[in-house]
């Protein structure tokens, strides 16, 4: 354990505080996490809930206050999303300690939590949502970021954590609606609506919709997204409830994979000893081809949820989810050349381009059920959970590499210019063509045991079986892999008083060799056991008041048998990593008028069992050592309020070879709010207030995103 981590441990021990998640203005921290249906979401909200969805801990799948959950969880409520005009997962993670956003090759959400990079650890209402796309937030009540391995509850993957979006529920006791319109400095705009209609005394219909058009500082960037989500919830007698929802998402936008690293002459390559930085002076330049660089997605998602109370102590909830996704991704982008000595010309005035087109069709069918018994055996209290999950994921994925006519190759060196001129090309032949069929079955059991008023023990284990069949049409191979794994979880909580909990926890997850997306296997990795993740965590959660929570945690996360890319020839080795760190978060109301969301994380991520370069140990890529975030909102009057935010990230490496370093940055945001009437509000959000030059995300050494300059967004909301 290094010096900085020991200092963090000392601070943790002396202060004795840990992070609790956000609470909205109208509910105390305790109220926020009590009541409601199990499995993340109430089917229908009645008058006794006062018109908002009560939050249960998705990390336990039981109605457990977060202070009694032995795990770090960060939550952003609908109010916070609206106040900060947050529209995507990437916006959210700017204000989440221990988590950061990746570029995702300009076509998907990609995140790093506690040093673990993933494209698939996303959930909606507790059900896996692993297709590669940009997830909208128009129909979301809150977003939960669960830190550490989560396989016991959520299944495979989730080595560093998962993101769970909780959708809005129908409300049975009143009719209401809201419409929003927003436009920013670049001309991007969105329109959204939310309409709730009661149907009788115990049923309701809710409709959420979104239309937006994209624009930013980058040349030739454009696009639009349309989404609609009707849902219907009703009570069937006194003990049963049902929810049926459908969502359609249609996304069509330009692909921008950012800028290359700085250009150096041959013989002066980027290295661990002398890392490169991002290419400067081309903040707005597209290193691709307008029109060709495009991604589209059409998604149809149907969900049926049924709940039944056998008694006050015994309840059952099941969710059936079907999703049909059709995605296209086509791009030209900057790369390293295959041979380092010809990466760039000696004059350092040229750049290498590559490209491909990728298509994915996927069908997801997932069924999940949970039986929960709450009761006592002698002096012990129990919340006993028995659950199952089974399903099938069918995917068809194909890729065709670019062929440049001038080089008769899939790469070409072109002059560095603004704009970049891309020579003639085609996408003539498949480089990958696969069909995969994944069948899975999961069984799990967990018990939360109360030992009097001060001690709780939580233990559980999950069994997963995965049967994957891959038809590699391109290479004429039929490959299969079956994995059977157990994922344990254990936690112990001591509560010296009702508003303070101290906990320790251990959790384990795994990831099959086919990776996040289960698209392909090779003869070599088909014989390898899954990767494993182990997390050890200690923490404290402290409700300072009914509306202010402070949390802190220390953890160590080990990842074993990870495939590490050694070079740009595609050679890999089995290695691992260790991430040690500390997280702190303060969320809630400091006073009646002042709200705060403050967070800090320290992450020491190191590659393990990998060859050192120049005697230096290699750090994990895309893991800033320090991340700081602060958002405050002050109500000057009942009509006027102002907000101020700041985010800081220390420098990070772009990839595992540690040869390109992304510089640290600090960005300031601000907001003004004015309530014109009871039904109408106007707000102005300003991002990057001081016009900082920064690089917020990266995919690899030559795909580095440039941050937007100062950008103002004006939003008008109408309630009815």
- Average pLDDT for 499-509: 95
The pTM of this model reads: 0.89
Contact between 98 and 627 (Cβ < 8 Å): yes
Determine phi and psi for 334, rounding to 5 degrees: -80, 145
Tell me how far CA of residue 105 lies from CA of 35, 109, 491, 704, in angstroms. 41, 9, 38, 9
For 14-28, 281-295, 497-511, 538-552, which range has the lowest pLDDT when averaged over its residues?
14-28
pLDDT(30) > 70:
no
Tokens coding 348: 């350092």
The predicted pLDDT at position 401 comes to 96
Contact between 289 and 677 (Cβ < 8 Å): no
- Average pLDDT for 599-613: 83
- Domains, the chain, in order of start with CATH, read 3-472+480-517+531-719 (2.40.170.20)
Rounded distance between C-alpha atoms, residue 340 and residue 331, angstroms:
23
The predicted pLDDT at position 599 comes to 96
The rounded percent of the chain whose pLDDT value lies above 70 is 87
Mean pLDDT of the chain: 87
- Average pLDDT for 340-357: 69
Q: Which of 119, 145, 146 is nearest to 130 (CA)?
A: 119
- Average pLDDT for 521-533: 84
Residue burial 430-451, b: 16+ Cβ < 10 Å; e: rest: eebbbbbebbbebebebebbbe
The predicted pLDDT at position 464 comes to 95
The predicted pLDDT at position 608 comes to 81
Q: pLDDT tens digits for 287-339?
A: 999 999 999 999 999 999 999 999 999 999 999 999 999 999 999 999 975 43
The predicted pLDDT at position 614 comes to 59
What's the helix, strand, coil split of the chain in %, to 5?
5, 55, 35
Rounded distance between C-alpha atoms, residue 637 and residue 628, angstroms:
29
Q: pLDDT tens digits for 678-715?
A: 999 999 999 999 999 999 999 999 999 999 999 999 99
Tokens coding 15: 């202060």
Helix (H) or strand (E) holding 264: none
The predicted pLDDT at position 612 comes to 60
Q: Label the pairing between strands 572-589 and 99-101.
A: unpaired
Rounded distance between C-alpha atoms, residue 507 and residue 72, angstroms:
12
- Average pLDDT for 78-86: 92
By the 10 Å C-beta count (0-12 exposed, 13-18 middle, 19+ buried), 511 is classed as buried
pLDDT(150) > 60:
yes
Tell me how far CA of residue 115 lies from CA of 100, 120, 202, 529, 689, in angstroms. 9, 15, 46, 21, 29
How far, in whole angstroms, is CA 308 from its chain's centroid? 31
Rounded distance between C-alpha atoms, residue 703 and residue 528, angstroms:
30
The predicted pLDDT at position 44 comes to 52
Tokens coding 666: 């600090």
| Residues counted in the chain | 720
Rounded distance between C-alpha atoms, residue 502 and residue 319, angstroms:
33
Contacts of 339 (CB under 8 A, 6+ apart): none
Q: pLDDT tens digits for 662-678?
A: 999 999 999 999 999 99
DSSP state of 106: G
Q: pLDDT tens digits for 12-25?
A: 333 333 232 332 32
Query: Using alpha carbons only, what angle is made at residue 58 by residues 55 and 61, rounded to the nearest 5 degrees?
Result: 105
Q: pLDDT tens digits for 467-497?
A: 999 999 999 999 999 999 999 999 999 999 9
The predicted pLDDT at position 50 comes to 31
Tell me how far CA of residue 591 lies from CA of 630, 633, 652, in angstroms. 16, 11, 36
Q: pLDDT tens digits for 54-75?
A: 334 455 688 788 888 899 999 8
Of the ranges 168-172, 512-516, 615-619, the best mean pLDDT one:
168-172
**pLDDT-derived band at 173, boundaries 50, 70, 90:** confident
């Amino acid at each position: 354990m290094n010096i900085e981590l020991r200092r963090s441990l000392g601070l943790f021990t002396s202060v004795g505080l840990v992070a609790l998640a956000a609470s909205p203005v109208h509910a105390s921290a305790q109220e926020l996490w009590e009541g409601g249906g199990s499995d993340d979401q109430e089917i229908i909200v009645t008058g006794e809930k006062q018109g908002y969805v009560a939050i249960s801990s998705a990390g336990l799948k039981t109605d457990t206050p977060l202070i009694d959950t032995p795990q770090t969880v960060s939550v952003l409520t609908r109010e916070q999303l609206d106040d900060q005009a947050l529209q995507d997962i990437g916006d959210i993670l700017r204000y989440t300690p221990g988590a950061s956003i990746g570029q995702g090759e300009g076509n998907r959400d990609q995140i790093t939590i506690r040093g673990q990079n993933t494209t698939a650890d996303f959930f909606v209402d507790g059900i896996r949502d692993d297709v590669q796309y940009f997830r909208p937030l128009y129909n979301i009540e809150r977003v939960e970021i669960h830190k550490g391995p989560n396989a016991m509850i959520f299944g495979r993957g989730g080595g560093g954590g998962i993101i769970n979006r909780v959708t809005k529920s129908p409300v049975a006791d009143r009719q209401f609606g809201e419409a929003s319109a927003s436009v920013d400095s670049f001309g991007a705009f969105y329109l959204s609506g939310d309409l709730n209609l009661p149907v009788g005394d115990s049923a309701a219909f809710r409709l959420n919709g979104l239309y937006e058009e994209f624009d930013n500082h980058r040349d030739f960037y454009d696009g639009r997204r349309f989404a609609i989500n009707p849902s219907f919830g009703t009570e069937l007698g006194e003990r049963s409830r049902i929810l049926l929802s459908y969502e359609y998402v249609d996304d069509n936008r330009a692909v921008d994979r950012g800028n290359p690293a700085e250009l150096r002459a041959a013989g002066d390559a980027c290295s661990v000893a002398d890392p490169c930085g991002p290419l400067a002076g081309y903040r707005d330049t597209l290193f691709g081809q307008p029109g060709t660089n495009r991604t589209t997605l059409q998604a149809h998602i149907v969900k049926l949820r049924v709940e039944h109370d056998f008694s006050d102590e015994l309840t059952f909830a099941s969710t059936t989810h079907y999703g049909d996704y059709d995605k296209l991704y086509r791009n030209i982008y900057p790369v390293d050349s295959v041979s380092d000595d010809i990466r760039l010309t000696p004059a350092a005035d040229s750049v290498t381009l590559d490209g491909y087109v990728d298509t994915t069709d996927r069908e997801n069918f997932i069924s999940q059920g949970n039986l929960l018994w709450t009761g006592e055996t002698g002096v012990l209290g129990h919340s006993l959970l028995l659950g199952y999950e089974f399903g099938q994921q069918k995917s068809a994925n194909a890729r065709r590499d670019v062929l440049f006519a001038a080089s008769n190759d899939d790469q070409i060196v072109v002059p560095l210019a603004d704009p970049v001129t891309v020579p003639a090309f085609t996408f003539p032949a498949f480089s990958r063509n696969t069909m995969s069929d994944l069948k899975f079955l999961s069984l799990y059991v967990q018990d939360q045991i109360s030992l009097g008023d001060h001690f709780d023990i939580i233990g559980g284990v999950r069994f997963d079986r995965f049967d994957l069949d891959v038809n590699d049409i391109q290479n004429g191979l039929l490959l299969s892999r079956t994995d059977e794994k157990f994922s344990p979880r254990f936690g112990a909580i001591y509560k010296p008083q009702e508003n303070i909990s101290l906990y320790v926890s251990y959790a384990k997850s795994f990831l099959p060799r086919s990776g996040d997306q289960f698209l392909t296997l090779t003869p070599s990795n088909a014989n390898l056991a899954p990767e494993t993740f182990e997390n050890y965590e200690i923490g404290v959660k402290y409700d300072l008041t009914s509306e202010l929570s402070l949390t802190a945690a220390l953890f160590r996360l080990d990842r074993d048998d990870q495939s590490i890319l050694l070079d740009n020839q595609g050679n890999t080795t089995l290695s691992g990593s260790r991430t040690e760190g500390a997280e702190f978060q303060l969320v809630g109301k400091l006073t009646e008028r002042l709200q705060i969301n403050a967070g800090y994380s320290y992450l020491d991520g190191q590659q393990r069992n990998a060859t050192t370069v120049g005697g230096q140990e290699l750090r994990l890529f895309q893991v800033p050592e320090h991340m700081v975030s602060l958002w405050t909102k002050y109500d000057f009057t009942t009509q006027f309020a102002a907000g101020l935010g700041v985010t800081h990230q220390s420098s990070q490496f772009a990839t595992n070879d540690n040869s390109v370093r992304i510089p640290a940055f600090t960005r300031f945001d601000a907001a003004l709010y004015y309530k014109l009437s009871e039904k109408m509000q106007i707000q102005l959000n300003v991002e990057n207030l001081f016009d900082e030059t920064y690089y917020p995300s990266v995919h690899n050494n030559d795909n580095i995103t440039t941050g937007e300059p100062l950008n103002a967004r004006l939003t008008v909301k109408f309630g009815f």
